[in-house]
Amino acid sequence: MEDGVWWKRIRGRRSKKMKRIVGKNWRKERENGREERLGFKILDQNDKLTTPDDFDKIVRAVIPDEQVEPKLYKAVLKHMIHGPCGVLNHKSPCMKQGSCKKGFPKEISNDTKQGNDSYPLYRRPQDRPAVPLRENSRVRVDNRWVVPYNPFLLLKYDCHINIEICSSIKCVKYLYKYIHKGSDRVSMEVHNGDEIAQYVDAR
């Protein structure tokens, strides 16, 4: 099974190849009234991402230092912060039975770790205080709320573009199944609209 890079992009243009690609798939759908493109690209054998160090070269899940990367800092706060939800907003669409169905806020981690048949657990250090989500905002966020991203693509397209590393067999199989599931479907039956007959039959 080939390793791959998976991303979700909202209202963006098609990205350039980050590495040599041996296969790719696209799926287009709508979520919360917004058009999304879901993509999965298979990397060539020589370009496979196999270690946490490899993952860190492509994907980040941290709020950059504003003094060092001011443009990226603004882009992350504008496009790559989840929610907020949970204690910050109980009415967020992602909330289900009192918790976020996307798993936010994520756990603090000083290092990226390979997930157990899942996406990697990206590095999210608690190395600086929480920052305001927007200017004069009361909501403050830290690395636990960052959606994984690639700095180059985020700055280039200036839109929400979620990047995930897929290296486990279970994860890759799930994504192939998801992409090829086809368009949304609804099962329904049409019955005779004779209310009197329905009443008689029910007796």
pLDDT tens for residues 60-83?
A: 999 999 999 999 999 999 999 998
* Domain region containing 93: 4-202
Residue 40, both tokens: 């999965």
Of 62, 49, 27, 14, the C-alpha closest to 166 is 49
User: Cβ distance 164 to 149 under 8 Å?
Assistant: no
Amino acid 77: pLDDT: 96
Residue 48 confidence (pLDDT): 78
Q: Which residues of the chain have pLDDT under 70?
A: 1-42, 117-118, 167-176, 178-203
* Count of domains forming the chain: 1
- The model carries a pTM of 0.71
Alpha-carbon gap, residue 160 to 165, rounded angstroms: 17
| Integer CA distances (angstroms), 79 to 28, 35, 41, 120, 127, in order | 20, 15, 22, 21, 21
